[in-house]
Structure 1
Amino acid sequence: MLESIDLSLVNWSRAQFALTAMYHWVFVPLTLGLAVIIAIMETLYVKTGDVEWKKITKFWMTLFGINFAIGVATGIILEFEFGTNWSNYSWFVGDIFGAPLAIEGIFAFFMESTFIAVMFFGWNKVSKKVHLTATWLTAFGASLSALWILVANAWMQNPVGMHFNPETVRNEMINFWEVLFSPTAIYKFLHTITSGFVLAGVFVIGISAWFLLKKREVVFARKSIVVAAVFGIVSSIYLAFTGDSSARDIAQNQPMKFAAFEGLYNGSEGAGLIAMGFMSTTETDPSNENLLDFNMKLEIPNILSYMAYMDWNAFVPGINDLIDGNEKYGYMSADEKIERGKVAMAKLKAFKEAKDQGNEQLAKRLKTEFMDPDFQQNYFSYFGYGYLTDKNMLIPNVPLSFYSFHVMVGLGFYFIVFFCFALFYALKGRLEQRRKFLRLAIWSIPMAYLASQAGWIVAEVGRQPWVIQDLMPTVAAVTKISTSAVQTTFWLFAVIFTLLLIAELKIMFRQIKIGPKMDGGQH
């Protein structure tokens, strides 16, 4: 099925989408978290009447606005790429994937954009409570906008609430609520927006630390750090819990991804968690460059079994179990799945040929057989495997998945400790004396962005080769256009996005150096 597909086109299309998504995610998490922090700060202003809180709110609101404006541009391009580069995917699941994207554009983004205008330009024009309401609704709109995007992504990871229509060769939604409230969607949404909250908390503390090092705006910096630290502690602890729930969901619905980011090659009962490990350049299997041996690893017994199945002695399948099969624990081999996928594709092809030839009786029989629940469960559920020619294509990039996951988790625990120290020093009035900590706070900002990007690498690289889990591999989703066209737009976007990022950083740095201002208004 893949002989006619140009793999260089697939790789360049993936690279272009990854480039756009990663640049877009530079801007999004700060928007998600900073919007809530701003709303909290303005609430303190309205409750206390302390004009210092108004000055603090307006400063962080300015940085929010700069980030929001540039983030919109990359988001729009990202959605257009589904049509330009991934038209086969859009055709196959457009009825499902398009719904949350449409809701996000029509409702969530519209709401966010409407109230953001009041938030920025409503000072001294509307009452304090109306302005505060607009600020909270902007924060709510930002999270609501993220919800629909993440629901769409979660459906790709775990397709539910749909059925396949052989007449149109498309997947159609039959249960919107199952799509919206699937455990995968819930965990992905909660974990992702909370990661944005953590990043924003680190950002506020880091920028405030710069003011303290410069001995400027000390009261502003102290108050900002207290709010961001409390917000960060709650968010980072909750982030750890949502990450645990998300990992458990992945273990059950995407076991190959789970095995890849845990570096688990051979499954076992009471599987241990690799807390730290370094891979060598030696391949455990010469036929696959993604399977590298470990030079060193620190493993904690039984933890992985409990994390995956809430059972200290549960069997956790490794990559080899999922590829070669494990009859004892009921895991089918990849070769068998590929064969079943081909049977499903052959049945669909025969049905379409009967329809085209006008043989309605044969077509009706083949459709009945295709839609039979047993056939759907035992054959169509492996439809995407029919595109594959080699079982090794099912193994994602293990080193990249493993290191990205451990960087993300390690930094996640670091941020919990970081926020606790920030709050402790702030409440004890020792922040100005802790100059090493203040410098560390500044350097923690890029670390937060690194953790955020690593999380998406785990989510997207770990699920390869699937664009829709088990139903459509990436190689079948790509638009058949010239590779040179994708290469040209890749470099064009790379230049544009880099210039946008440089522009944002320059504007941000300029505003930070100017510092917070107090206007003459009484509102």
Structure 2
Amino acid sequence: MNVEIVARIQFAFTIAFHYIYPPLSIGIGLIMVIMEGLYLKTGLKQYEVLTKFWLKIFAITFGIGVATGIIMEFEFGTNWAVYSRYVGDIFGSALAAEGLFAFGLESTFLGILIFGWNRVSPKVHFISTIGVFLGSMFSAVWIVVANSWQQTPAGYHIVGEGLMARAEVTDFWAMVFNPSSVDRVIHVWQGAFLAGAFMVLSVHAYYIRKGIFLEISKKAFKIALVVATIVSFSQLLSGHSSADGVAVHQPAKLAAMEGHYAKSAPADLYLAGWVNNKTQEVTGIAVPGGLSFLVYQDFNKPITGLNAFPEEDRPGQVNAVFQFYHIMISIGMFLIALTSYSCFLWWRGKLFDTKWLMWIFSFSVLLPQIANQAGWFAAEMGRQPWIVYGHLRTSKGFSQEVSANQILFSLILFLVVYSLLFALFLYSLNKKIKHGPYDDEVQDQLATI
């Protein structure tokens, strides 16, 4: 059994599972800021009730996110020792900044947010809500900066040779603002906002379908719908900008995303398809020259294809990169159509009377999560065979003393533990949703009406 493959599978599983929770925390945090801000502005008790309700769900998500994130730090040291040595100076700076500016901020204000409702003034509590939200956003910044450095290294020099080689920071801000970091941070934030907004839409669409908590759910639904509509459209801009950066700095990845093999020729833009890596053909529906137009605003402009690179320097799983990328794009376009049509019905005064739409929104919470996961898989598999693009190959980055069987054993343990954590998350989430947004005393009063 290949050590590299098993180590990659283990890390992909643990980080994919972990990434269910941080986007929800960021997105729900934004919704809570809006809800509590409306409560301070209008004085309507319903907005306070909504804030408290979603705070409970935020706390569950935050707790499991922290628990699942710790594992990855140990994996760096145990399974990816050469890589850890190589990027230690870079990641050390970024992760120290995350701990100082993000996690500390988020954790401190979370205590006030949860326990301070009757102990601090409403304005101080609102500031704490903002602090928790900003802390979650800052945490994403430093993690994405570290990952973006792997994609487009900058602000460093290499010290040592062979297994002892490592990258040292020469310009901290050049490292932070490497060529891909800003676009990717914005895109990740937007994906997180959508994850949180569609969680809120899903829960309150469920209440509306059931005919319970109608008035308060309609208010929450409208808040989340506005956020989802704005962000789903704005993702087009950040996604396009990010793709332009990939075209410049990682042309092999861009070529894999669209199954483009010709060394230098106009590239089609596929709506859907299937890549045969052996025959170097793509079967599907495409806009001729569409990729060339998006990158250069010219349908006939050549795009560098996979055959321009040695076989060992291009992604091996081209079809997988292609499919994950197009899953992300397809879901993004569907969310634009869904939110736009919903806003139209809102304007017509028919939004909450359209039962089939509420059914779609009840399960829509899955869509941003799938898109976020697919986007990361496309980005990371498209970077291969490099773990640090153009410098350190993935095949050279894993630990030399750890066997495949050892990694496989720990992977099985992670599968068991993470399955239990996920079951606990779903149980706790379901319990809070079934209980409803009001306290027990108010729930009892509503039941008698």
Residue 214 (structure 2) pairs with residue 218 (structure 1): yes
1:160 is aligned, of 134, 139, 154, to: 154
Give CA-to-partner distance per residue, 1:46-86, whole Å, 9 cap, x none: 11000010011111111111111001011111122111111
TM-score between both structures, scaled by the size of structure 1: 0.81
Aligned to 1:507: 428
**1:245 has 2:221 as partner:** no
1:277 matched to 2:273? The reply is yes
1:22-101 mapped onto 2 (5 Å cutoff): 22-101=16-95
Residues 221/267 of structure 1: CA separation in 2 closer, same or farther (3 Å cut): farther
Hey, what's the Cα distance between the residues in 2 that align with 1:423 and 1:122? 36
**Residue in 2 that maps onto 1:472:** 392
Counting only pairs closer than 5 Å after superposition, residues 124-523 of structure 1 correspond to structure 2 as 124-166=118-160, 169-279=165-275, 283-284=278-279, 291=280, 293-294=281-282, 296-322=283-309, 334=310, 391-392=311-312, 394-480=314-400, 481-518=402-439
Task: Give, in angstroms, the shift of residue 233 of structure 1.
Answer: 1.1
> Within 2, Cα distance between the matches of 1:315 and 1:240?
23
The AA in structure 2 aligned to 1:466 is W
SS in 2 for 1:124: coil
Q: Which amino acid in the other structure matches residue 122 of structure 2?
A: K
Shift of 1:394: 3.0
Counterparts of 1:400 and 1:220, CA distance in 2: 43
SS of corresponding position for 1:271: coil
RMSD of Structure 2 on Structure 1 (CA): 1.8
Structure 1 Cα separation of the partners of residues 435 and 256 of structure 2: 47
Give, as a single letter, the amino acid of the residue that structure 2 aligns with 1:250: V
Alignment partners' CA distance in 2, 1:166 and 1:55: 58
CA distance in 2, matches of 1:141, 1:427: 35
CA gap 1:516/1:74 in 2 versus in 1, 3 angstroms? same
- Indicate the SS of the match to 2:273: strand
Q: In 1, Cα distance between the equivalents of 2:379 and 2:45?
A: 43
Post-superposition CA distance 1:4-41 (Å, at most 9, x none): xxx71111111110011000011111111110111111
Q: Secondary structure at the match of 2:20?
A: helix
Q: Deviations over 1:301-348 (max 9, x none)?
A: 3321132344443320111122xxxxxxxxxxx3xxxxxxxxxxxxxx
Secondary structure at the counterpart of residue 298 of structure 1 = strand
The 8 Å contact of residues 31 and 67 in structure 1, kept in 2 or not, is answered as: yes
Aligned to 1:328: none
Distance 1:90 1:51 in 2: 51
- Distance in structure 2 (CA, Å) of the matches to 1:396 and 1:253: 19
Query: Take 1:154 and 1:269, find their aligned partners in 2: how far apart are those partners?
Result: 28
Note if contact 1:226-1:423 (Cα within 8 Å) is conserved in structure 2.
no
Amino acid at match of 2:293: Y
Residues 252 and 308 in structure 1, CA contact (< 8 A), matched pair in contact too:
no
Structure 2, unmatched stretches of 5+, are 443-449
- Contact 1:247/1:307 (CA < 8 Å) preserved in 2? no
**Partner SS, residue 371 of structure 2:** helix
Query: Which position in structure 1 is the counterpart of 2:447?
Result: none
2: distance between equivalents of 1:24 and 1:249? 27
Query: What is the CA–CA distance in structure 2 between the aligned matches of 1:63 and 1:218, rounded to whole Å?
Result: 20
Q: Is the deviation greater in 20-29 or in 512-521? A: 512-521
For residue 47 of structure 1, give the secondary structure of its aligned residue in structure 2: helix
The residue number in structure 2 matching 1:113 is 107
Cα deviation 1:329-386 (Å, max 9, x = unaligned):
xxxxx3xxxxxxxxxxxxxxxxxxxxxxxxxxxxxxxxxxxxxxxxxxxxxxxxxxxx
- What's the CA shift for 1:393? 6.0
d(CA) in 1 for partners of 2:347, 2:37 = 21
Q: 1:408 to 1:209 in 2, by over 3 A?
A: same
- The C-alpha deviation readout for 1:117-151, integer Å capped at 9, x for no partner, is 11111101111111001101110000001100000
2:238 counterpart SS class: helix
SS of structure 1 residue aligned to 2:145: helix
- Measure, in 2, the Cα distance between the counterparts of 1:314 and 1:245: 18
- In structure 1, runs of 5+ residues without a counterpart are 1-6, 285-290, 323-333, 335-390
Larger CA deviation: 238-247 vs 444-453: 444-453
Q: How high is the sequence identity, in percent, across the aligned residues?
A: 36
SS of 1:73's equivalent in the other structure is helix
CA distance in 1, matches of 2:265, 2:314: 23
Secondary structure of the structure 2 residue equivalent to 1:183 = coil
Cα distance in 2, alignment partners of residues 96 and 278 from structure 1: 38
**Over residues 494-517 of structure 1, what are the superposed CA-to-partner deviations in whole Å (9 max), with x where a residue is unaligned?**
111111111101110110000001
CA distance in 2, matches of 1:495, 1:159: 36
Report the alpha carbon displacement of residue 430 of structure 1 after superposing the two structures with TM: 2.6
Change (3 A) 1:52 1:428: farther
Alpha-carbon distance, 1:214 to partner: 0.7
Q: Which amino acid letter does the alignment assign opposite residue 194 of structure 2?
A: V
Q: Is the 8 A contact 2:385 2:394 kept in 1?
A: yes
1:287 equivalent in structure 2:
none
8 Å Cα contact 1:123-1:131 kept in structure 2: yes
Secondary structure of residue in 2 paired with 1:164: strand
Aligned residues: 439
* Closer, same or farther: CA 270–482 of 1 in aligned 2, 3 Å: closer
Letter in 2 for 1:109: F
